[in-house]
Structure 1
């Protein structure tokens, strides 16, 4: 027996955010997100787990995945992260253009969307990456 086991027993595990008895947003084994939040290391760990899941899903759902460059894969990963896989899959014209190797057309289709208007510079950057197969220069 140790302290972690006692806390697990008392707190219980909740994998979705909830309001605790003190009305604080909480997750896991009673982790108070409002007062404590996450460390950078924890946020990076969560991101890496999410990216692993997204890559796995994209490998299964995008027929030409293995033929895409790392840059173009990163574009689709970013879009799936932002929109969810279901949201990305609604970009039928974009994905058809990607599959056909028409990357400038894919970039235009990306920009011709409500999503592009909502995310602004992000869409412009991703479309440029899709069209040119180059990493953005404004990143370190």
Structure 2
């Protein structure tokens, strides 16, 4: 099977972004047909874990998170996953509070944001997690 895998990889080529193939179906990777096969829950979880690891690394490079415990760091990662990294970086006062360890000041900017209006349950949970440092 290993030789077959290598042969198919050679023939298909790798595409990291979805594309329309010759039969006009949406494909990704080494020709995986997203229209018909999609992805399994296990594959989605691997992708999610990779995305979250990447986001945690880039957040820790960009923001002083030394005063964040695990629940607070997870909340920052969740915010970045939902908003995109650039979206998280737009919350300047929130990130300044994180760097100072002033977690009681977090809620104001986040609660009055477009994001909180669009996803109020998520916002309340993540804001509370940031403020208390406890999993919600």
Common fold by TM > 0.5: yes
Corresponding pairs, count: 135
Aligned partner of 2:29 in structure 1 is 28
CA distance in 1, matches of 2:74, 2:124: 14
Which residues of structure 2 form unaligned runs of 5+?
A: none
Partners of 2:122 and 2:22 lie apart in 1 by 39
8 Å CA contact retained: 2:67, 2:99: no
Normalising by structure 1, we get a TM-score of: 0.88
Q: Normalized against structure 2, the TM-score is what?
A: 0.91
Give the CA deviation at 1:12: 1.4
Structure 1 regions of 5+ residues with no counterpart?
none
Q: Residue in 2 aligned with 1:83?
A: 83
Counterparts of 2:46 and 2:61 in 1: how far apart (Å)? 23
Q: How does 1:4-83 map to 2 (within 5 A)?
A: 4-63=5-64, 65-83=65-83
- Say whether the 8 Å CA contact 2:110–2:116 is kept in structure 1: yes
The question of whether the paired residues in 2 share the 8 Å contact of 1:108 and 1:127 is answered with: no
